[in-house]
Structure 1
């Protein structure tokens, strides 16, 4: 009786495996969505820009005086990039689309103090450029509510250079 029972389980397992594999094959074969643009021989993946001087970018100013560790800086810059994306999506979707067409370039620069961060925010607003100031929750390295990073843009490089062109790379 035990041999018959184990053979029955083996038969059910084998049938289930065959049915599962067959249905997966047909689902993948027939439900695959066609791509929007078909790749043709000779096509290359590249970006062509109207004017390289006006490449759209996002500047992230990181406060150097806080002496945050690398991982903390990376997390704060991530928050800044997401905040800038969300703000651009709501306020200027055409600018967001241009920035993404240019590869979503992000540049991190050093800021020496909170006052410099606030001055950059004021200058960006005066020039009608989006800016987002990131405040830390204060659970690890800095006090709660500390302004850590400012995201300026996305905007054309020529405009961003007027706001933050004097700053050094982080």
Structure 2
């Protein structure tokens, strides 16, 4: 989640929810997905400082072969239309995601 946009808590929650739903709808639904479901659909919300860091993170995740969904806001409330607010990485195995996200802090 980008922290530079000044979004309220509710807006942040909505963006994270959009990312999670998008990841499930668009992601692969094989054995890794089933394992993720059985594990209780774990999610971890991390923060990035801005657009450049978000793009870099997504690039690293794609290079690692992970599913990535970037959320672009509709622009109806707090940020301009098309603004990349956050991304979802996965569902994937923690051992695959952790090397990409280990440098980030919890939101």
Indicate the RMSD between aligned Cα atoms, in angstroms. Answer: 0.9
1:164 maps to 2:101: yes
TM-score w.r.t. the length of structure 1 is 0.61
Other-structure match for 2:5:
66
**Aligned partner of 1:140 among 77, 81, 89:** 77
Matches within 5 A, 1:2-151: 62-88=1-27, 91-151=28-88
In structure 2, C-alpha distance between the alignment counterparts of 1:157 and 1:95, rounded to whole Å: 10
Q: Which runs of 4+ in 1 moved over 4 A?
A: none
Other-structure match for 1:6:
none
Whose RCO is larger (CA < 8 A, sep 6+)? 2
Structure 1, unmatched stretches of 5+, are 1-61
In the TM superposition, residue 92 of structure 1 has moved relative to its aligned partner by 3.8
Q: Which has the larger radius of gyration?
A: 1
In the TM superposition, residue 71 of structure 1 has moved relative to its aligned partner by 0.3
TM-score w.r.t. the length of structure 2 is 0.95
In the TM superposition, residue 87 of structure 1 has moved relative to its aligned partner by 1.6
Q: How many residues align?
A: 107
